């Protein structure tokens, strides 16, 4: 029943320590917390009845007090072009989120959403079109990885937080998620195999630098100067480019992790000679990696990608000037590859009904 349900606590969002204290609070031995944590985060149980080393009365008690919220699989699209799959999940309250699985030689990488919708409103992005619906809980971020690992039967070795949402706009939940997914008592995914992408929320980038993590921070740059950036990203109006770059330097200084800069190449907007020159000046001398992403045209937005030839010329110019740069290999273009597109299409289809 819906009413009973809302009173139950979201057990998957408790971290290892919290779950032990929680068990103490309900009159159980803390080691029960360890056992349950292992069921939830190592064995990926999705029902208390599966926890066979717990007594029946305890399983029933857990079921009364807590809930293992399941993300319901709505669609799974498997690309015919490359080993990429896109998932649309429905959360307990009806919110829709999407995740992407990309298989590489080195392992399986999952791109997760950190929010349902997004309030950053980047001009070329489909995720922000309907605004922010709500933040995702740690369990909902973990759940995307757990579900995909279970559905494929293959271990997830890398995580990128580059789906819908701005992780640093959902700071506490995001941080807890990182700690839990890399916890040795859970899936134990190395922090060096985790990348989080931000549009550049400066205070939280600095905070993150001080959390003692080993994750890679990717900054969505998209413009080589303040004015260009503001044209594409409203959030740039809140933080000067110089402050954003300083925050990246600070992250590197504190963590030793080389930042990645993402630059969506948009035809006639930021792909010219001058842009390349300015980008070189901005990045030269920085220990970083630049990832060029030919923009994914989104139906609601009027942006085009440059021709392959122009994108390559842009890349070569930077490379010749000592910038460590790659063009992101396109994946899943036949399955609504761009951020937020699958979710949008679903919302549109519902409207049309
Ligand atoms: N909010 C975070 C992470 C989500 S988006 C951020 O802004 O970084 C992940 C990356 O995809 C960002 O660099 C984003 O700017 C980029 N992106 C979004 N829509 C895109 C599109 N249509 N084409 C190319 N890149 C896009």
Which tens digit of pLDDT belongs to each residue from 315-339? 999 999 999 999 988 777 787 655 5
Domain with CATH 3.20.20.70 in the chain: 72-352
Between CA 139 and CA 149, with CA 144 as vertex, the angle to 5 degrees is: 120
CB 280 within 8 A of CB 323: yes
Return the residue whose CA atom lies nearest to atom 19 of ligand 1: 125
Is the Cβ atom of 293 under 6 angstroms away from ligand 1?
Answer: yes
**Domain made up of 72-352: CATH architecture:** Alpha-Beta Barrel (3.20)
- Ligand 1 centroid from CA 87, angstroms: 18
Decide: 338 in ligand 1 pocket, CB within 6 A: yes
Tell me, what's the pLDDT at 1? 46
Count each helix (H run) and each strand (E run) in the chain, helices first.
12, 14
Q: Which residue has the tokens 């809302």?
A: 6
Measure 343 CA to ligand 1 centroid, in angstroms: 15
Identify the pLDDT of residue 253: 98
The pLDDT value given to residue 66: 98
Q: Which helix (H) or strand (E) holds 345?
A: helix 341-352
Ligand 1 atom index nearest CA of 222: 15
Domain boundaries for CATH 1.10.150.530 within the chain: 5-67
Q: What is the pLDDT of residue 340?
A: 62
Residues of the chain below pLDDT 50: 1-3, 352-353
For the question of residue 98 being annotated catalytic, the response is yes
CA distances from 302 to 126, 132, 270, 329 (A): 11, 22, 14, 22
Q: Which residue's alpha carbon is nearest to atom 15 within ligand 1?
A: 220
Q: Is 262 in the pocket of ligand 1 (CB under 6 A)?
A: yes
- The finding on whether 122 has its CB within 6 A of some atom of ligand 1 is yes
Q: Is 288 considered catalytic here?
A: no
The CA 70 to ligand 1 mean position distance, Å, reads: 27
What distance in Å separates the CA atoms of residue 132 and residue 283, rounded to the nearest whole number?
32
Q: pLDDT at position 318, please?
A: 98
Give the active site residue among 95, 118, 248, 339: 339
- Quote the pLDDT of residue 342: 64
What's the pLDDT score for residue 4? 52
Which of 22, 85, 98, 166 does the annotation list as catalytic? Answer: 98
- How far apart (Å, rounded) are the C-alpha atoms in residues 52 and 59? 9
Tokens of 76: 């799974």
CA distance 63 to 49: 9
Query: Could you tell me the fold of the domain covering 5-67?
Result: DNA polymerase; domain 1 (1.10.150)
């Amino acid at each position: 029943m819906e009413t009973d349900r809302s009173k139950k606590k979201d057990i998957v969002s408790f971290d290892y320590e919290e779950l032990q204290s929680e068990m103490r609070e309900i009159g159980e031995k803390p080691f029960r917390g360890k056992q349950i944590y292992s069921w939830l985060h190592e064995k990926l149980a999705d029902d208390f009845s599966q926890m066979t080393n717990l007594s029946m009365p305890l399983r029933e008690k857990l079921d009364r007090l807590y809930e293992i919220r399941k993300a319901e699989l709505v669609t799974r699209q498997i690309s015919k072009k490359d080993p990429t799959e896109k998932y649309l999940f429905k959360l307990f309250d009806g919110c829709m989120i999407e995740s992407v699985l990309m298989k590489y030689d080195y392992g399986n990488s999952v791109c997760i959403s950190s929010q349902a919708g997004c309030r950053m409103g980047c001009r070329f992005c489909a995720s922000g079109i309907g605004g922010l619906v709500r933040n995702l809980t740690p369990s909902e971020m973990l759940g995307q990885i757990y579900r995909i690992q279970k559905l494929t039967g293959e271990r997830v070795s890398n995580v990128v937080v580059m789906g819908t949402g701005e992780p640093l706009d959902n700071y506490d939940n995001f941080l807890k998620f990182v700690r839990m997914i890399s916890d040795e008592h859970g899936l134990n995914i190395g922090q060096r195999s985790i990348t989080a992408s931000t549009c550049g929320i400066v205070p939280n980038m600095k905070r993150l630098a001080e959390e003692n993590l080993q994750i890679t921070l990717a900054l969505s740059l998209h413009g080589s100067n303040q004015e260009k950036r503001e044209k594409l990203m409203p959030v740039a109006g809140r933080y000067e480019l110089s402050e954003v770059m300083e925050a990246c330097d600070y992250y590197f200084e504190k963590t030793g992790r080389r930042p990645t800069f993402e630059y969506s190449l948009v035809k006639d907007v930021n792909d010219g000679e001058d842009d390349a020159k300015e980008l070189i000046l901005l990045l030269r001398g920085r220990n970083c990696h630049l990832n060029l992403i030919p923009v994914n045209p989104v139906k609601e937005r009027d942006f085009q990608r440059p021709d392959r030839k122009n994108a390559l010329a842009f890349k070569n110019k930077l490379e010749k000037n000592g910038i460590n740069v790659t063009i992101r290999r396109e994946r899943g273009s036949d399955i609504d590859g761009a951020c937020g597109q699958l979710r949008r299409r679903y919302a549109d289809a519902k409207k049309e009904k």
